[in-house]
Amino acid sequence: MDSKSILLLKTLLLSTSPRNIYAHTTDKKKRRKIVLGYVGTAVLYAMLVAYSLITCIGLGFAGTIDVAPALCALTISALSFVFTLFKTNGYLFNFKEYDMLMSLPFEARTVASSKYLYMYLKSLPWYLCVSMAVMLGYAIIAGPGIWAYPLWILLTFFLPVIPMLAATFLGFLIAKVSSRFKKTNLIQTVLTFVFIAFSFSFRFIVEGLFRDDKIQEALAKASEATDQAAHIYAPAGWFADAITKGNVLSALLLVAVSGLLFAAVFHLLGNSYQRINSALKSRAASRNFEMSEQRRHSVVNAIAFKEFKRFTSSTIYMTNAGMGEVFAVLLGVVTLVIGFDRILDIVTREAPFDHSILQPAIPFIAYFFIGMVATTACSPSLEGKNYWIIQSLPLSMKSVYQGKMLFNLYLTVPFMTFSVLCMCVSLRVPVLDTILSLVLGVALCAFSTTWGCVCGVKHIRLDWENEVEVIKQGTAVTIYLLPNMLVTMGLTALVIFLGQHVNHGLIALGFTLIASVLALLSYRRVLSLCKA
């Protein structure tokens, strides 16, 4: 890390820091949003700390507190790998300020490393929350020597480095391969989707390959499974040995390997950095283009199509807002091929229960994926500095947001219909209940669309420097995502309980009415925000 990387890093932090904006802006609304953003982030940090601490205390009651350091290291490593993989395209490749940065007297390696360090610092508080909470629980139950605490804190800063570098290198390979094709964004998006889907299914692949009873017995025990994982993933083992055994060599290995890999990855990345970014930012023209009569569309449909083009032109947008739809389709196909009953047997370890009790929960199971992220939660902010162009056009903001909501419906309703229909067929749901489930699924999509738009308009942010800041880290997305996900999980359990006592058709009708009313209220709220 050289002085130029640090200089660029400081500039990036200052230009995107809410605290810096708060200190210099006189706009009361903007200052209030920043304060609310800090409060919301603090609540999320507190929830993560509480969850990590409770988990550590649970290990203590189970008599397996010795695996807490290894579990902490594995958790931070997994989080950092996933977070970085989703951000690499937006931060390291194809980012908006690329031309400006590359015009400065900095090497490509310096620009890339400063972007990596920016990702590292922005995500570091999440890792510290996990680590400090586990350290507190470990201190209360295990009572290690005083030397363990500063060592734990120091090594926490190095734990995310190696998995982040692995995710960065993987993103580099995906970008390098996709840059050789004309439709670079499409290829890059497909490769990212394939890898993410493979990662989520890796557990089942391993179980299919290894059926040995001893392995299954070891995996059934959390402590033994954690020890095995720490042996496989060496940095977690080094961290655990340094904390539990006071092994100085392990601590030095973690620090040294992190530094060496950092230098190696960015030396390799720097050699191709400019060519890859240039290829990703270029657009190929069709050789056989022919002029034809243009079709006329309504204003709302035209805006929806514009949003579709924006969606398909951004890998980070597609992988975050479209991943749920891909999972929903995969779930539907798997239920048809393998059977819903077989999937439930695998998940529940063949626990004896009547699988039909899950029938009323089918729309909510599909919605858990479909409603994961609504495009309307981030699309208003994605207009960015082009927002003034929209305001200068002879369009009402009502039509603009109606178009954005229409696009989200175009995106979610077909996938919802396919997933629900596949699960209903697999579980042999009666025709009438299947129709009602489909109607409920559409109502849930309407609610997701309108509620996401309320969050997107209410917490619009136009002064972003990188689209990752609004697609993944935006206040609107966070406010939409967390309550929606938790409520969906709760409603799934509720309808399963109600399904044992109430007719499934009545349950679907009741929740369809509730979702429709909430969607209507949210839509009216969007219209009122347009006038504000």
What tokens appear for 75 in the block?
């958790």
Q: Is 427 helix (H, G, I), strand (E, B) or coil?
A: coil
| Residue 173: closest CA among 268, 281, 83 | 268
Closest to 68 (Cα-Cα) out of 143, 157, 160, 168: 143
Rounded-to-integer distance, Cα 219 and Cα 225, Å: 5
Q: Output b/e per residue, 108-142; b: 16+ Cβ within 10 A.
A: bbbbbbbbbbbbbebbeebbbbbbbbbbbbbeebb
The pTM of the full predicted model, rounded to 2 decimals, is 0.64
Answer yes or no: are the C-beta atoms of 307 and 211 closer than 8 Å.
no
pLDDT digits (tens, 9 = 90+) for 305-354: 888 888 887 777 887 788 888 888 888 888 888 877 777 666 555 555 56
Q: What is the pLDDT of residue 404?
A: 92
pLDDT of residue 351: 55
Sites in the chain below the pLDDT cut of 50: 184, 186-188, 191, 193, 195, 198-221, 284-286, 289
Largest CA distance in the chain: 78
Per-residue model confidence (pLDDT) at position 488: 84
